[in-house]
Amino acid sequence: MLITLIRTIILYVVVIVGVRIMGKRQVGEMQPAELVVTILISELAAIPMQDLDRPMANGVIAIFGLVIFEILLSIIIMKSLKLRRIISGKPAIIINNGVIDQHILKELRITIDDLNEDLRQAGVFSFDEVQFAILETNGKISVLKKPHLLGPTAEQMHVENKDKGLPCTVICDGVIEEHSLPLVSFTAEKIHSILEQNQLKLKDVFIMTADKLGNHVIVKKQKKGN
């Protein structure tokens, strides 16, 4: 039993290292080849975890072997457009100039319900709002609304939009995030004075975000029983 536990821990570390080496893209938006590698890695890790008869090296070598192939393939794919098309496929235009391409839908085996769902997730609730919908190689749908439904930009309206910078969390669960302070030009003293103005103590703050312009949002901790 203890051996199983130790093997599980080791293989867990191996899988984490493998996925980290493959890169962050692996987790969020997987291409077909990456999905295959991820499924295979989970299977490969499970076998030596459960079967104590098998040497763990078999699993580890196979996992790292896949990681190597995946990285090498991604490098080759970056250099060769032809291979990229073969391995990852190419984006497909599902709605072209407001017209649903039914042949493409059939070819890709996408039902109208699937399309509806994906459009809703993209913030569109009616087909006639869409100018273009493109099925990306990672399976996600990108939507461009019809021009008259797009809001005007600040540039089009000749309005100056001040750069707020990146809003950062400056207090998280009652603790000041020191590394975020320089990003929003805040200091610990400034935070304490803001808290004082709001009659709050540091430990009462669940989250506080701030931006470069000095705007801030404070969310108080919920008291037990609330």
Partner 1 sequence: MKRLWAVLILMVLIAAICTAGYITIEGYRDKTVTTLQAAMAAANSGDYKKAEELAKQAETTWIDAEQKLSIFVNHSQLSEVGLSVAKLAPLIKDGSVGEFNAECSLSIVQLIHISNREKFRWENFI
53 binds partner 1 (CB under 8 A): yes
Q: Which residues pair with 96 in a beta bridge?
A: 99, 132
Compute the least distance from the CB of residue 43 to partner 1, in Å: 18
Cβ-based neighbour number of residue 128 at 10 Å: 8
Q: Report the residue from 61, 86, 150, 188 that binds partner 1 according to the rule CB under 8 A.
A: 61
Give the max Cα distance, the chain. Answer: 71
Compute the least distance from the CB of residue 42 to partner 1, in Å: 19
Q: Report the residue from 41, 49, 67, 119 that binds partner 1 according to the rule CB under 8 A.
A: 67
98 binds partner 1 (CB under 8 A): no
64 binds partner 1 (CB under 8 A): yes
Burial code of 167-204, b = ≥16 C-beta within 10 A, e = fewer? bbebbeeeebbeebbebbebeeebbeebbeeeebeeee
Q: Report the residue from 30, 71, 108, 200 that binds partner 1 according to the rule CB under 8 A.
A: 71
Cα-to-chain-centroid distance, residue 207: 22
- Beta pairing class for 99-100 and 92-96: antiparallel
- Pick the piece of the chain touching partner 1 (CB under 8 A) from 57-65, 129-137, 143-151, 169-177: 57-65
CA 117/CA 173 separation, integer angstroms: 36
Compute the least distance from the CB of residue 65 to partner 1, in Å: 6
Q: Report the residue from 57, 154, 157, 159 that binds partner 1 according to the rule CB under 8 A.
A: 57
Using the minimum distance from each CB to partner 1, give the nearer residue, 27 or 75. 75
Residues 6+ apart with CB under 8 A from 185: 212, 214
3-state secondary structure of 170: strand
50 binds partner 1 (CB under 8 A): no
Using the minimum distance from each CB to partner 1, give the nearer residue, 21 or 219. 21
Using the minimum distance from each CB to partner 1, give the nearer residue, 57 or 157. 57
CA 152/CA 174 separation, integer angstroms: 40
Return residues touching partner 1 (CB under 8 A). Answer: 21, 23, 52-55, 57, 61, 64-65, 67-68, 71-72, 75
